[in-house]
Amino acid sequence: MIRRHIVGFGLTILFLMGALIAVLMWWAGNYSTTVATAMLILVLLGTAAGTLISNILLTWLIIGLSTIGIAILMMGYVVMTIPIKIGLLLAFPVCASLSTLSRSILSGWRWIDRNRAEVNSYAEHYDQITKLQIKYNAQKIYKKAQRFVMEDQDDSRWLNTTAIHWSHNRQIRQFHKRAYNEMLREIAKVLKTDRLPSESLYYIGCGTFLIISFNLTKQTYDHRNALTRQDLQQLKIGQATPQFKWGTKYINKDNAAKFPELKEIIRHIDRDMETDLIVEYMKGDNANG
């Protein structure tokens, strides 16, 4: 909020400075060419001095030039009306002061570039809908965890990689984009609420969420999964309840070497999901038969 006010104030100062220069030049143009030329020189000098010279030096320069100007215009014999004399005296210090203020404000706008870099970094590593980290980050943390499980002297290290896939999400995305995005946000909200702070949450695209759990006991892990399933079943998209496929892979020292990359884990989980789907269909056919 404060930064927005600073930007607005800075733009206002720049506008006032431009308007002042335009008014001064119009006013001086109503007099002789000599007056107009003198006004132009003073405006340019004031603007340049305020932009290029340090504040302390500029203060002394304003004092010195104003003193000289007063001596020449007010005490000397110059055929000129009092208002234009005052205008010429004020042109340099006012333009210099406004230029200094503008320079000070503009130099403070460097935070815009810093913020832009932060925004770009955020966009590269976080999904903009779910506000979860993306697949790239999941690959990095998995690689680190997998190496730790393999190389650590303590054999009691393991991790669970869990994928939750929203079935039929592509159809919803194709025809109901807004509802699709809202459902992704709701799923992410459930995961952020139900999963432990020690677990890492990711959205890897195509309606698939990934959870990396490190050294959770089976009891704790199963309880978290049951709670997550229960809350996901409460979600609604229109009048329908979204369906989810689950897949998980347990990694310890015995099998960590077989899965050096996250993509191999995801491929394995995808196969398990497809197998479970086929089994469910077969059970349904048997029940109907």
- Give 237-286 pLDDT, tens digit per residue: 888 889 999 999 999 888 888 888 998 999 888 887 876 544 444 444 44
Write the CATH number of the domain with boundaries 126-288: 3.30.70.270
Name the segment(s) of the chain with CATH classification 3.30.70.270: 126-288
Could you tell me if 188 and 203 are in contact, meaning their C-beta atoms sit under 8 angstroms apart?
Answer: yes
Taking the CA atoms of residue 74, residue 80, residue 86 and residue 87 in that order, the dihedral angle to the nearest 10 degrees is: -150
Dump pLDDT digits (tens) for 135-164: 889 999 999 888 888 887 666 788 999 999
Contacts of 88 (CB under 8 A, 6+ apart): 35, 38, 39, 42, 69, 73
Could you tell me if 161 and 248 are in contact, meaning their C-beta atoms sit under 8 angstroms apart?
Answer: yes
Dump pLDDT digits (tens) for 75-129: 655 566 777 777 777 777 878 877 777 777 666 555 555 555 555 555 567 888 9
Closest among 105, 103, 85, 9 to 47, alpha carbons compared: 103
Closest among 141, 285, 158, 127 to 221, alpha carbons compared: 158
Strands (E), 140-289: 159-166, 200-205, 208-214, 244-251
> Could you tell me the pLDDT band of residue 29, with boundaries at 50, 70 and 90?
confident
Provide φ and ψ at 246, rounded to 5°: -115, 145
Query: Got the DSSP string for 9-31?
Result: HHHHHHHHHHHHHHHHHHHHHTS
For the entire predicted model, the pTM comes to 0.58
